[in-house]
Chains A and B, each alone.
Chain A
């Protein structure tokens, strides 16, 4: 019965998508419309290949980092540091490297697109695997040892079963990350030239910027969302349901810090309810944050300095001279850096407050009222399947038509940021409210807490740790998005044929990375990247870690 239902859903979904394609290809007029299936195929192939690479890398390095102490001391802080650098920030470096390596041929762009996707996908899998292995209960490890399971057998009977759920959820996140970054990776303006590889992201960007066709971009967005939704339901939901039974730590949701759009979780996680044991991952997460020793931090910093100078050396061809350093920072805009930092932080802050407010309201309502949940979950389902960066061109064209270029871009930036940040908060709030222990809820009921008093005295304090985790994730993904959102490099009709920028750290980074010299400058680019990484780490250390440690006490012991 269930199987039959699934088969029907499978075929019906496919049919809907085929019909959609047929309609679009027959009724939309655009010179490139006949290539739509080919673009879809290329994008799917690209994301799938990258996913394969990410899984191979994530599993092997994850196992290495969690079973070998030396490897862990070197790898984990290094990777944590790497992922605190916004992915979109170092894209120009990657592009520069591969374009020069392959002399501008498509393969170079293809490789840089895959590398960008890889850096957005791999972390989720790596940290999922590490978290899962660390999370194997001691009694299981000890009993395996006492029965003499070592080496390969230990791997097969203990490690692999433990990481399968994490792998599936990590791969799901990675898969959605892939869609998120696709649009940024497939169509890039670098030093005045547009570098692109065929794909849906490329076509979407072109529809908005080149054909200036809002209808087509809207249609493409709907198509992309439909495909993501369909594949989510087809593959990931099923895998996740299958994986969450029969393991001792079902459906591990890892929470990870720093920058990295973790993309969408499906609400089946929410429906699974008690099976998804979130507090545990929260505990793991906060332990994670507190774990670094000074030694590890020093090693990580030294390693990244070595890596950075290596890359600079590679790009400049030699170690830069003092004059080159002076030249790098002679840019007149450089003096505005403090203002830019404040403006960008302000944008992120505004978007964060808005999304926190909406997510809290929606999340608490959805977690406690079935009827509200019945409305919100489908919205969530669709909302999280829309690749947020893909909304950008559409919003920009719409808002700038209504409000004019600069103000339109400002509004677009905030709206896109909110849409990007809100899902983490929502997901964390819902699952945290759902996992408030029944005794606490009963105490509230017994002593007559109602309405707002109940929310402020009981619900919000109980979910504070989850709010902090959600905030870290939101800010992480926000940093990525703002690098994309402050800068409109294309010479559009609406912007009077001029590139458009919002003053801020993100746009300055883009200009430094993508424009030809003297505006573009690799040394300054690295400086700005390190600055952002430093801000991210500083916020983590000064704000989030402290809050988590403080709220640790608030955790209800069950």
Chain B
């Protein structure tokens, strides 16, 4: 079943009277329970694309369909985690998770309960009253994940969620994200991630969409049918085969 449909998205930035074409006719769709990853060189507009899907930016033309309905503004069913975590520094971990619930006008006790349970899920029990300033990068991203999950979205968008973390932390968090994706008790099961790390994309995704440098176009798609969990395949030739395939498309897309 198709959850998200991206149809002919085009976007141009205007700067100092010159026009910079960022996205050119992007179309693809994401199915229920699917994990899709968008890979591309930096500056190819993949983050802009994700923001358009989230409703944070407007496309010049084309549309985003969520269960067939056009999406124009942010929707609690589609939520996002950020590269730099996007935590409000003046709120504690717990308050940060409560924010989206507060906007939905859920009562104080109820939202505290919900927020606490999600913080527990991402392994941050006991850190509820700590400010982001005093949390490590990995912990901040855990708060970011808890905050996104607290809304019980169907779709989770991730904008290079691990690229500002050290590799060891990133590894742990990738596992956490995959566990969340697998967890049948959670409604959040359709994942769309933006990354510039090909290995990460092949390791995590069912399908890797490859974008060209600016103006960003989809230049190819690699289906990753390796069985999960993939930890044991990380040294397998099948895995490297997929990685090479993605890299080859990336290279070709440059010309």
Q: Which residues of A contact B (CB under 8 A)?
A: 437, 439-440, 442-443, 445-449, 453, 457-458, 461-462, 464, 552-558
Contacts of A458 in B (CB 8 A): 88
Q: How far is the CA of A278 from the CA of B119 in the complex (A)?
A: 34
B74 and A554 form a contact (CB under 8 A): no
Known: A461-B88, A553-B131, A555-B89. Contact between A443 and B103, CB under 8 A? Answer: no
Are A556's CB and B89's CB within 8 A? yes
Which of these, A442, A553, A555, contacts B86 with CB under 8 Å? A442
Given contacts A447-B100, A448-B103, A449-B103, contact A558 B86 (CB under 8 A): no
Q: How far is the CA of A445 from the CA of B72 in the complex (A)?
A: 12
CB-CB under 8 A from A449, the residues of chain B are 103
A461 touches B74 (CB 8 A): no
9 further contact pairs, Cβ within 8 A, besides A443-B87, A448-B100, A461-B89 = A437-B84, A448-B76, A448-B103, A461-B91, A553-B89, A553-B133, A554-B89, A557-B133, A558-B84
Given contacts A448-B103, A457-B99, whether A443 and B88 have CB atoms under 8 Å apart is yes
- When A442-B56, A453-B103, A553-B131 are in contact, do A448 and B74 touch as well, CB less than 8 Å? yes
Determine if A439 and B90 form an interchain contact, defined as CB atoms under 8 angstroms apart.
Answer: no
Q: How far is the CB of A254 from the nearest CB of chain B, in Å?
A: 24
Q: Which of A446, A461, A558 contacts B90 (CB 8 A)?
A: A461
CA distance A245 to B104 in the complex (A): 45
Q: List 9 A-B contacts (CB under 8 A).
A: A443-B99, A445-B74, A446-B54, A446-B55, A446-B79, A448-B74, A554-B89, A555-B89, A557-B133
Residues of A within 8 A of B88 (CB): 440, 443, 457-458, 461
The winner among A440, A446, A447, A557 for most chain B CB atoms within 10 A is A446
Q: Select the residue from B76, B79, B80, B89 with max chain A CB neighbours within 10 A.
A: B89
B82 at the A interface (CB under 8 A):
yes
**CB–CB A554/B90 < 8 A:** yes
> Is there an interface contact between B56 and A445, defined as CB atoms closer than 8 Å?
yes
B51 located at the interface, meaning its Cβ lies under 8 Å from any Cβ of chain A in the complex: yes
In the complex, per-residue mask of B68-84: 1 if CB is within 8 Å of any chain A CB, else 0: 00000010100110111
| Interface core residue of B54, B74, B88 (most chain A CB under 10 Å) | B88
Q: Which of A440, A447, A461, A558 contacts B103 (CB 8 A)?
A: A447
Q: Contact: A442 with B84, CB < 8 Å?
A: no
The answer for the CA separation of A554 and B55 in the assembled complex, in Å, is: 27
Distance, CA A61 to CA B53, complexed state (A):
56
CA distance A554 to B134 in the complex (A): 11
Hey, which chain B residues are within 8 Å of A554, CB to CB? 89-90, 133
**Residues of A contacting B90 in the complex (Cβ-Cβ under 8 angstroms):** 461-462, 464, 553-554
Q: Which residue of B lies closest to A551 (CB)?
A: B90
Complexed CA–CA distance, A5 and B28 (Å): 49
> In the bound complex, what is the Cα–Cα distance between A412 and B91 (angstroms)?
42
Q: How far is the CA of A443 from the CA of B80 in the complex (A)?
A: 9
Contact with A along B229-250 (1 / 0, CB 8 A): 0000000000000000000000
The 10 closest A-B pairs by CB, nearest first: A461-B90, A447-B100, A553-B133, A443-B86, A554-B90, A439-B86, A448-B103, A554-B89, A446-B74, A442-B56
Give every chain A residue within 8 A of B89 (Cβ-Cβ): 461, 553-557
Most buried by B among A439, A447, A555: A447
Residues of B within 8 A of A (CB): 51, 54-56, 74, 76, 79-80, 82-91, 99-100, 103-104, 131, 133-134, 151
CA distance A556 to B140 in the complex (A): 12
Which residues from chain B contact A448 at a C-beta distance below 8 Å? 74, 76, 100, 103-104
A457 surroundings in chain B (CB, below 8 A): 88, 99
CB-nearest residue of chain A relative to B148? A446
In angstroms, Cα B90 to Cα A556, docked, is 9
> Are A446 and B84 in touch, CB under 8 angstroms?
no
Check B82–A439 contact: CB distance below 8 A. yes
| Interchain CB contact under 8 A, B99 and A447 | yes
A446's nearest neighbour on chain B, judged by CB, is: B74
* A453 vs B102: C-alpha distance when bound (angstroms): 10
The distance from the CB of A1 to the nearest CB of chain B, in whole angstroms, is 13
Chain B residue with the shortest CB-CB distance to A460: B90
CB distance from B149 to the nearest CB of A (A): 13
Question: Which residues of chain B come closer than 8 Å to A461, judged between CB atoms?
Answer: 88-91
Question: Is there contact, CB below 8 Å, between A447 and B74?
Answer: yes
Q: Which residues of chain A are near B84, meaning CB under 8 Å?
A: 437, 439, 557-558
Closest to B101 in A: A447
Which residues in B have their C-beta under 8 angstroms from that of A442?
51, 56, 82, 86
Q: How far is the CA of A286 from the CA of B85 in the complex (A)?
A: 25
- With contacts A440-B88, A461-B90, A553-B89 taken as known, whether A446 is within 8 angstroms of B133 at the C-beta atoms is no
Name the residue in B55, B82, B104 with the highest tally of chain A Cβ atoms < 10 Å from its Cβ.
B82
Chain B residues near A446 (CB-CB < 8 A): 54-56, 74, 79-80
CA distance A464 to B86 in the complex (A): 18
Interface centre among A443, A457, A464, A552 (most CB of B within 10 A): A443
Which B residues are CB-close (under 8 A) to A462?
90
The smallest beta-carbon distance between B106 and chain A, in angstroms, is 12
* Chain A residues whose C-beta falls within 8 Å of the C-beta of B56 in the assembled complex: 442, 445-446
Chain A residue contacts of B76, Cβ below 8 A: 448
A116 to B: closest C-beta gap in Å:
42
Chain B residue nearest in CB terms to A464? B90
Expressed in whole angstroms, the Cα–Cα distance for A445 and B87 within the complex equals 13
Distance (whole angstroms) from the CB of B79 to the closest CB of chain A: 7
The minimal Cβ–Cβ distance linking B36 to chain A, given in whole angstroms, is 20
CB proximity of B39 to chain A, nearest CB, Å: 21
Nearest neighbor of A462 in chain B, beta-carbon distance: B90
Q: Nearest Cβ distance between residue A435 and chain B, in whole angstroms?
A: 14
Which A residues touch B87, using CB under 8 A? 443
CB-CB nearest in chain A for B74: A446
A325 to chain B, nearest CB (A): 51
Distance of A453 Cα from B88 Cα, bound (Å)? 14
Chain A residue with the shortest CB-CB distance to B89: A554
Task: Give Cα distance in the complex from A461 to B76, angstroms.
Answer: 24
Give chain A nearest CB distance to B192 CB in angstroms: 15
Q: How far is the CA of A443 from the CA of B82 in the complex (A)?
A: 9
CB distance from A17 to the nearest CB of B (A): 32
Closest-by-CB residue of A relative to B133 is A553
C-alpha spacing A437/B151, complex, angstroms: 23
Q: From residue A54, how far is it (CB to closest CB) to chain B in Å?
A: 36
Q: How far is the CB of B13 from chain A (nearest CB, A)?
A: 14
Distance, CA A10 to CA B55, complexed state (A): 47
